[in-house]
Structure 1
């Protein structure tokens, strides 16, 4: 399984690289802040929402500490989708976050 360090992912964002980031945390966790531009798909919803992910694109998976996003990364890779896990999750993220709008 491929992994990326949070600082490396932050650097890619700052350089203007167009990234596909998926946050697999639960709603209450995401309410505290999400990486700007990330899409929120709870881990349990990945199988039913996999059609929202495009073949040929690369996805960076994020959770609180790296465990759930690691499982999501392995699942997507098994389905032929390119994915990389962000090691350490949001606990290791030291950059900007945005607070999602209430639904």
Structure 2
């Protein structure tokens, strides 16, 4: 599935959508700034949390980090575990907040 731009995510949220957003940054980063409605699961703990996300396997999940690198790794990990609609937020929260 194609990745998502900050513009598209902001438009969807402004339209009242509540997509599943997974923040794979460290907890301290999430405490400093976050996208409303996101769930924080640091990338290092994601392999242990995959079973907890099982019910979301066929739903769209948007993953993000600070700039897009860790979330690209998270997208690959989730995809390897059978998640079918994982999208990386291009440019991460940095690009999202710059909008």
* TM-score for both structures, normalised by structure 1: 0.85
- Note the residue ranges of structure 1 that are not aligned, 5 or more in a row: 96-103
**How far does the alpha carbon of each residue in 1:39-69 deviate from its partner, in whole angstroms, 9 at most, with x for none?**
0000011111012222211100010000000
CA-based RMSD of the aligned residues comes to: 1.7
Unaligned runs of 5+ in 2: none
8 Å Cα contact 2:18/2:37 also seen in 1: no
Counterpart position of 2:31? 31
1:88 corresponds in structure 2 to: 91
Residues 7 and 94 in structure 1, CA contact (< 8 A), matched pair in contact too: no
In the other structure, the counterpart of 1:99 is none
Structure 2: how far apart are the matches of 1:57 and 1:91? 25
Once the two structures are overlaid, the 10-residue window that deviates more, 62-71 or 51-60, is 51-60
The yes-or-no answer on 1:48 pairing with 2:48 is yes
Pick one of 59, 62, 66 that aligns with 1:60: 62
- Displacement after TM superposition at 1:2 (Å): 2.6
Whole-Å Cα distance in 2 between the matches of residues 22 and 72 of structure 1?
9
Give the helix-richer structure, 1 or 2.
2
In the alignment, which residue of structure 2 is the partner of 1:2? Answer: 2
Q: Deviations over 1:8-60 (max 9, x none)?
A: 11111111113100000011211111100000000011111012222211100
What's the secondary structure of 2:11's corresponding residue?
Answer: helix
Structure 2 length-normalised TM? 0.89
